[in-house]
Amino acid sequence: MSKITLTIDGKSIQTEAGTSVMTAALANGIDIPHLCYHADLLPSGGCRLCMVQVEKHSKLEASCGLICQDGMAVETDNETLTNLRRDIIDLFVSDHPLNCVVCDKNGACDLQKYAYQYNIHETHYDFELSKTDYCADNPFIVWDHQYCIQCAQCVRVCDEIVGANAIDHAGRGFNSYVATPFDIPMAESDCVFCGSCVQVCPTAALLPRQKIGQGREWEMERIRTICGYCGVGCSVEYACKDGQIIYAQSYDNAPVNGSYLCVKGRFGWDFVNKPDRLTQPLIRKDLAYQLGLTDEPWQLPDKSVLQGKAKFDHYLPVSWGQATDIVADKIADTVQQYGPDAFGGLTSARCTNEENYIFQKFVRVAVGTNSVDHCARL
């Protein structure tokens, strides 16, 4: 690929042929305001906030769609541009309620960011909402159309990255909005609830339902880890408050997944809080009786465990000390009586590398057999 040189705000910049001015500017630390540009998506040129002045061009140009040319000289900030941007934001907020005080996007909203930056606190136009639908027909995503600024990032991400094509523009002009086909509920559309649209939405139009009313952005601590589901190994950023997860998202340049996740990674973490989590070591009542921990004899019913619910009353809680002693006794007895090959260990494709390592080391070193496996094949 050939390199070309241009100047942006007087700074000489080298870039690959075919790069847009926006991309080149961002890569060089020059932040051109934008509401519809996204690095992974084709430019749509809808918001016009990214207009720049190019030497020898008679008109202002949208930098997100403007391809760099050798010798081009671009100015991203001057009075004309500032006035233009103020007017654009003014127009946006003539159709977007400035409910920032109670808004769940407060602190993470791009429109708010630019309104603040350009000091627009109310519209000079007649305020009129074009659309007021509030769609919460599923447990994952809340879609509040009054906050939509029609940047179409959601539509593009759903098409260009996810390939689901679940949503598109509907209606015309002022009354156009983003919708599922024929406004059917999201669950009946081709939506796969990956939440990528939520991830790229710059405003409060698309929000994770888990987040609504749960706190403001700046109150949340962010912790990044790896998704526990499939082998893709996406990075997930959890927003937490008071030791609880509020919602999950990805982040730009996550090593494997960039900004994207699937429904399980983004929305499927709430199992951790379920009341039927195991919280203490348990010993089954027949063994407890054998060991003299209870006086009541008991037997495991013959009914298959695939029928009916899990029964906690088949067990007695014990301390970690007791539990590990019992396990050690039983394993040691087996090895002494029948030899190491009468023991088997199943390690786990859901445990960490470190855990798998010491588990197999235990089986090989302490017990003395190679009978350790996991469900890689299953």
Partner 1 sequence: MTNSIHEIRDADCIFITGSNTTEAHPVLSYEVIRAVKKGATLIVLDPRRIPIVKHATLHLQPKPGADIYLFLAMAHIIIRDGFLDEPFISQRTEDFALFEQSVKAMTPERAALETGIPAKQIEQAARLYAMGQRSFGSSIYEDSQTAPYRGHSTILYAMGITQRSNGTDLVHMLANLAMLGGHLGKPSTGVNPLRGQSNVQGACDLGGLPNVLPGYQPVTDAAKRKTVAEKWGLTDLPAQLGLTVVELTQAAETGQVKALWVMGENPMLSDPDVTHVESALRNLDFLVVQDIFLNETAQLAHVVLPAAASLEKDGSFTNTERRIQLLQPVVKPPGEALPDWQIIGAIAPKVEARLGHDRPDGYWDYGSSAQIMTEIAEVTPIYGGVSYERLVGQGLVWPCPTPDHLGTPILHVGQFSRGLGRFYPVELHLPAEQPDEEYPLILTTGRVLYHYHTGTMTRRSDGLDWIAPRGYVEVNPVDAEQIGLQDAGQVWIVSRRGKVRTQARVSDKVAAGVVFLSFHWKEAPANRLTQDFALDPIAKIPEYKACAVRLESTKRKGKKIKNSGAG
For ligand SF4, the closer CB: 64 or 167: 167
Binding ligand SF4 (rule: CB under 6 A), the pick from 177, 229, 238, 315 is 229
For partner 1, the closer CB: 71 or 339: 339
Residue 115 interacting partner from ligand SF4, ligand FES, partner 1, none (CB closer than 5 to 8 Å by kind):
none
Residue 184 within binding range of ligand SF4, rule CB under 6 A: no
Binding ligand FES (rule: CB under 6 A), the pick from 45, 97, 107, 281 is 45
Binding ligand FES (rule: CB under 6 A), the pick from 9, 48, 145, 146 is 48
Phi then psi dihedrals of residue 218, to 5 deg: -75, -10
Measured CA to CA in angstroms, residue 312 lies from 280, 285, 294, 316 at distances of 11, 10, 16, 8
For partner 1, the closer CB: 113 or 374: 374
Buried b / exposed e over 310-349, threshold 16 CB at 10 Å, is eeeeebbebeeeeeeebeeeebeeebeeeebeebebebee
Evaluate whether 345 touches 372 at the Cβ level (below 8 Å). yes
For ligand FES, the closer CB: 45 or 258: 45
Residue 126 interacting partner from ligand SF4, ligand FES, partner 1, none (CB closer than 5 to 8 Å by kind):
none
Which residue of this chain has its Cβ atom nearest to ligand SF4 in the complex? 265
- Minimum distance, C-beta of residue 356 to ligand FES, in the bound complex (Å): 47
How many CB atoms are closer than 10 A to CB 243?
6
- Per CB under 6 A, contacts with ligand SF4 among 118-157 are 157
Binding ligand SF4 (rule: CB under 6 A), the pick from 35, 50, 261, 288 is 261
Buried b / exposed e over 256-281, threshold 16 CB at 10 Å, is ebbbbbbeebbbbbeeeeeeeeeeeb
Binding ligand SF4 (rule: CB under 6 A), the pick from 234, 316, 363, 367 is 234
- Per CB under 6 A, contacts with ligand SF4 among 20-39 are none
> Segment contacting ligand FES (CB under 6 A): 40-48, 90-98, 266-274, 325-333?
40-48
Cα–Cα dist 60/50, whole Å: 10
Strand, coil or helix: 250: coil
Buried b / exposed e over 208-232, threshold 16 CB at 10 Å, is bebbeebbeeeebeeeeeebebeee
How many CB atoms are closer than 10 A to CB 249?
20
- Minimum distance, C-beta of residue 195 to ligand FES, in the bound complex (Å): 22
- Minimum distance, C-beta of residue 257 to partner 1, in the bound complex (Å): 5
What DSSP element (H or E) covers 373? strand 372-373
- Minimum distance, C-beta of residue 33 to ligand FES, in the bound complex (Å): 8
Q: Report angle CA 27, 31, 33 to the nearest 5 degrees.
A: 130
For ligand SF4, the closer CB: 33 or 208: 208
Residue 62 within binding range of ligand FES, rule CB under 6 A: yes
If binding means CB under 6 A, how many residues of this protein chain bind ligand SF4? 24
DSSP β-bridge partners for residue 142? 207
Cα–Cα dist 150/7, whole Å: 31
- Per CB under 6 A, contacts with ligand SF4 among 338-357 are none
| Paired tokens of 276 | 């039927």
DSSP β-bridge partners for residue 13? 6
Residue 281 within binding range of ligand FES, rule CB under 6 A: no
- Minimum distance, C-beta of residue 327 to partner 1, in the bound complex (Å): 5
For ligand FES, the closer CB: 147 or 269: 147
Would you tell me which residues interact with ligand FES (CB under 6 A)?
34-37, 45-50, 62, 64
> Which residues are near ligand SF4 by CB under 6 A?
157-158, 162, 164, 166-167, 191-197, 227, 229-230, 232-234, 257, 261-262, 264-265
